[in-house]
Amino acid sequence: MNDSPAEISGSGFPLTAPSSSQLQQLVEKLTPEQHHVTQKSGTEAPFCGGHLTEKSAGVYGCVVCRLPLFRSSDKFDSGSGWPSFCDTYDAQHVTRKSDASGGMVRTEITCRRCDAHLGHEFPDGPPPTGIRHCLNSLALHFWAEGEAIPREIPREISRAISDATDAPATPDADLAIAWFGGG
């Protein structure tokens, strides 16, 4: 378990990074494509992301740890081929880093809580911010308006980690072993 003091954002969400075992559990639930984008700073092809044309009202969050990152009310069509937002859900929820990869200097944006790569930030967005957060759909989870946004890392992940840690080590415990074959 992470022993760092809990840090809470201005909007009330915990920003404390998951423990290494929690992060491993979260990352294991990703698709190979999501893993490539969020853990290897990959970029999905333009004009093909699932959230590019999403018009529903709601909130976009980190696909790894579910920290809310952007509101649909701040989404705009930048013509870039990636979902774009002019503002963040909470400025404390993203981290900015200099990125000199690909022969250009850009500002990479990552999830503050789990450090997942989200995309890049550019100074060519619409008013009032003038900022364009250009994101990979694969890095995002969408909650439609009215859906509950979890404050903590999803319980099913935490529970799975806790259950594995608390499991009795004796062979006569109430456990069963199953063997599966695959082709």
Place of tokens 């930030």: 121
- What CA–CA distance (Å, rounded) separates 120 from 108? 4
Beta-carbon count within 10 A of 30 CB: 18
- What CA–CA distance (Å, rounded) separates 108 from 105? 9
Residue pair 134/122 in contact (Cβ under 8 Å)? The answer is yes
Going by C-alpha positions, the residue among 162, 148, 156 that lies closest to residue 13 is 148
Active-site pick, 62, 111, 114, 134: 134
Is 134 annotated in the active site? yes
**Any idea which residues carry the catalytic annotation?**
134
